[in-house]
Amino acid sequence: MQKLIDITGNRYGYLTVLGFSHMEYRKNGKSRSVWKCECDCGNIILLRKDQFIYPYSNYRSCGCWHKIESSRRPKDKLGRFKKLERSENNDRKRRTS
């Protein structure tokens, strides 16, 4: 078993690591560490280390960031998201290549 590296207090996106929660054991004998994290909005969530520590990971917040960003997108009168228009520069690049 590998030695557990303490990442308490580190920030990843909107998440701050509060401390170690528990180990998650898989059928093949491998284990994963689960950490307790607090989002900037105040929510506390449990995440595996591989879910938030790497640059390509999916978790940067508890989900509040998605709610904020989706509320900023332009909507029509009925509250549905508007289709975003392509710029002419992108269309030219696609036609030439």
Q: In this structure, is residue 90 part of a structural domain?
A: yes
Query: Per-residue confidence at 37, pLDDT binned at 50, 70, 90?
Result: very high
User: Could you tell me the residue range of the domain that residue 39 belongs to?
Assistant: 11-96
Q: In this structure, is residue 40 part of a structural domain?
A: yes
Query: Per-residue confidence at 38, pLDDT binned at 50, 70, 90?
Result: very high
Q: How far is CA 69 from CA 50, 65, 73, in A?
A: 24, 6, 7
pLDDT tens per residue across span 15-28: 899 999 999 888 88
What's the total number of domains in the chain? 1
Q: In this structure, is residue 4 part of a structural domain?
A: no
Q: In this structure, is residue 3 part of a structural domain?
A: no
Q: In this structure, is residue 41 part of a structural domain?
A: yes
Which secondary structure element, helix H or strand E, spans residue 17, and what is its range?
A: strand 15-25
Question: Environment class of residue 16 by beta-carbon count within 10 Å: exposed (0-12), middle (13-18) or buried (19+)?
Answer: middle
Mean pLDDT within 86-95: 58
Q: What is the pLDDT of residue 46?
A: 92
